[in-house]
Amino acid sequence: MLKATNCRHSIGRVPRRDTAMIRTTVLRALVLTAAFAAALTPVTCLGENSNRLPTKATKKLPPELLSLLRQKKMPIHSPILVRVFKEEAELEVWKQDTTGRFQILKTYPICRWSGDLGPKWWEGDGQTPEGFYRVTPGQMNPHSNYYLAINIGFPNGFDKANRRDGSFLMIHGDCWSAGCYAMTDEQISEIYSLARDSFLGTSLGTLLGGRPSFQVQAYPFRLTPANLARHRNNPNLAFWKMLKIGNDHFEATHLEPKVDVCDRHYVFDAQRPPNSARPLVFNPTGKCPALVVNPKIARPALEKQRADELEYAKLLEANAPAAPIYSELDGGMNEAFLAQFSERVTFSKKLGLDLAQHPVEQLMAEHQRMYALGLLKPPAVETPGDAVPAARRGDEVAE
C-alpha cells in the first residue's frame, strides 16, 4: 500500500508550480494503483470476506464467444447490458463496441421463469420482476446453490415507492425458478463471466464517479405494437407502456438509458431544462422536478414512438385478436427446453382463486390439449406439499 509522504521533510525546497505538478502525478499514480488493485480483487457476493472463489466463478469465456467479441469489435472488458423477455423466454446480452454504443452479443433461451406476465408485487407471489435494475459486484454470487447467481436488485426505487417487496430475485442456473429467471448451468457460466469481465473494465472509470455496475431491463414480452395490441386488455398495460419509453430510448439509440424515479414513475434520460442552474433531485414518492429529455435521445425515440403508435392504432382498428389476461400457467420456458423439462411447466397456483373467469372445464381442456401436443407428461399422483422439492419451496430462496 502506498503511504503519503510529507514534503516538508524532503531535502531542499521545491517551487510551488513544481509542487502542484508532483501532487498531480502522485494523485494519478494513486488512482491508477487503486484501480489496478480493484481489478485484481475477486468479486464476492453480498459482502463476503473470503477471496477463495470456486473454479466455476473464475472460468474464462469459451473460445467461440471470444471470437464473436472480436468479430463484433467488442472489447472483452467493455460494459454489458442485459435484457429479459418473459413471454418469448429469451435473455439478451448486449455489449458496448468500439463506437461506444451497445450491440447485441448473444441471445440465450430462458430455461424457466415463474409467475405470470406482469410485475412482482410482494414476497411470496411467485412473480419474476419487470422493470429497470442495476447489478453491482456485490450482487454476484459465486457460491450459489443454483450453480452461479446474479441478484438483479429487486426491489429498486420504483418498486419501493409503489410498496412492492421481495428478496433474492436472481438470474441463476439449474433451470428451476421460484420468482427468478433460471438458465442452464452452461448459460449462466457465460453470462456470469461476461458480467465479471465488464466489472474489471469499469473499475478505473468508476473510481471517481460511482460503483461499477450494469443495467438489467426486464420486460413481459418484446414491446412491439403487435404484442401490446394483443395484451391490450391486461390490467398492467399502463405499466408496460411506461417501460416502453425506456425500451424505445435504448432501441432507438443503442445507448443505455439513464433511469430515475419520481412521483412513483420511471423517468428516462432526464436532464436540467435550458438556462436552469438547479441540479435535478429525484424523490421516488415526491413530485418530479422540472426536466427535459436529452434531445439527442428524444428525437430518435420520438420517431420510433410515433411509428409504433400508428401501427398500434391500425391493429386496434382491425380488431386484432386479444390474449387472455392470464396465461393459465405458472411461468414459462423456451421451447428449446420443453422436451427435456416438460414436467417443470405447471399450472398457476392462483387459478383456484379465479374460477369464475376460468371454469374448471376450460382448465381441463387446456391441460388435455397440452398433453396431446406433448408439452406435458401425464400428471403424477402426489400431495400438494410434494409438488416442489422441500429445498426449493416458496417464492424466493435465499442464496
Q: Tell me the C-alpha distance between 198 and 183, whole Å.
A: 20
The residue annotated as part of the active site, out of 111, 180, 231, 249, is: 180
The residue annotated as part of the active site, out of 172, 231, 249, 358, is: 172
**Residue 270 · residue 257 · CB < 8 Å:** no
Q: Tell me the C-alpha distance between 153 and 164, whole Å.
A: 13
Q: What are the distances in angstroms from CA 245 to CA 75, 143, 224, 378?
A: 29, 36, 12, 43
Identify whether 143 is a catalytic site residue: no
Helix/strand/coil for 25: helix
Residues 6+ apart with CB under 8 A from 314: none
**Closest C-alpha among 83, 367, 373, 58 to residue 218:** 83
Residues 6+ apart with CB under 8 A from 82: 91, 92, 93, 94, 135, 171, 191, 214, 215, 216, 217
Identify whether 172 is a catalytic site residue: yes
Cell numbers standing for residue 195? 458480467
**Residue 231 · residue 243 · CB < 8 Å:** no
Residues 6+ apart with CB under 8 A from 132: 156, 158, 215, 216, 217, 218, 243, 246, 257, 259, 266
The catalytic residue positions are: 172, 180
